[in-house]
Copies of this chain bind each other. A is one copy, B any other.
Amino acid sequence: MNHSRLNVILEKLEQRGLKQMLISDPASIFYLTGRYIDPGERLLALYVSQAGDHKIFINNLFTVPEDLGVEKVRFADTDDFMGLLSACIHPGEALGVDKIFPARFLLPLMERCGASSYQVSSICVDEARACKDMEERERMRAASAINDKAMAQFRTLVREGMTEQELADQMLAVYKSLGADGFSFKPLVGFGPNAAIGHHEPDHTRLKAGDCVLMDVGCLKDSYCADMTRTFFFKKVPSEKHREIYEIVRRANEAAEAILKPGIPLCEIDMAARKVIEDAGYGPNFTHRLGHFIGLEVHDYGDVSSANTTLTQPGNIFSIEPGIYVDGEVGVRIEDLVMITEDGCEVLNHYPKVLDIIE
């Protein structure tokens, strides 16, 4: 158990008047114990309490020989594991639960354990995870360094007439060859008008001259996620408007990155990028928030949006990903991961952002 991380969480629970919590998010359990278990449909829960009687509930199906620094409660599918879980909860006190804790465990627990009330208290874990410690920062740097190298290779794979799917299918091997453990998310590849569609998955659309080539890609390295977007043009930039759109997005990206430091509201970062796009007349074409936090999960808790007045803190790592999307025509997005440091910031991606025409 990583006690310095746990203590941050316990303190945040205390501030909310909570003496106990059930953590069930596998990423959060990894964050605290160093062990990743994907429980599938089975119960996996780490009980933490101010009293210090922490316990982790793990199905026998998962081989966990190592000492996790916390009492292990093992059980079989046929055991009354909800009884074991209910029994460890201090009755008469509120219980915090994870936001992902599913109804199949929560409703039976509410019937059987004597907690006085139930609150979603993931925020306490999420806020801790939002401020990466030194070990995590190093891993995030390493993942993004691989992503930079991978983007350079992806660019060389682009060929006239290939499909988005064919390009996406080659990416895993590139990541693996560069030492990544896999994808942090399924690559998004969009050619031409497809790049303007939100959450477009690679399909059988073929690449032709004048198309933009949007690649929103990331790898996983030592359990931490990378995430970067670059938009190229193939053979030519079809019009002055396309070139202008690209340059506006690039300036928006750079405007946001220029103001990064600890202690500023996240909404101001969103605004720095959004203003560039709005001033150029494309405000309605930037249809999403500027960025999201990232770490053990590609979407960690926390966003960089016009509504988020939370102040940046050292160790925050998030994406800066402005975009302009013109239906049926073109989509351009340029995304880096950035890290707030004690006295400024560090941009984790170094792949160039100048307009690049693939021949």
Contact = CB atoms under 8 A, between A and B. Distances in A.
A118 B107 contact: yes
B198 A61 contact: yes
A107 B119 contact: yes
A103 interface: yes
A84 interface: no
Contacts of A235: none
A107 B307 CA distance: 24
B120 A307 contact: no
A16 B307 CA distance: 43
A263 interface: no
B103 A63 contact: no
Nearest to A305: B77
Interface string A92-105: 00000111111110
Contact of A103 (B61, B62, B101, B108): B101
Q: What is the size category of the interface that chain A forms with chain B?
A: 20 to 34
A133 to B, nearest CB: 24
Contacts of A199: 61-63
> 10 tightest A-B contacts by CB?
A99-B104, A101-B103, A100-B102, A97-B103, A103-B120, A104-B120, A103-B106, A107-B120, A99-B103, A102-B102
11 contacts: A41-B299, A61-B198, A63-B199, A97-B107, A98-B103, A99-B102, A100-B103, A101-B103, A106-B106, A107-B118, A169-B176
Interface of A: 40-41, 61-63, 77-78, 97-104, 106-108, 118-120, 122, 169, 172-173, 176, 197-199, 288-289, 299, 307
Given A97-B107, A106-B107, A169-B176, 17 more contacts: A41-B299, A61-B198, A61-B199, A62-B199, A63-B199, A77-B289, A97-B103, A98-B103, A99-B102, A101-B103, A102-B102, A103-B103, A103-B106, A106-B106, A107-B120, A108-B120, A172-B172
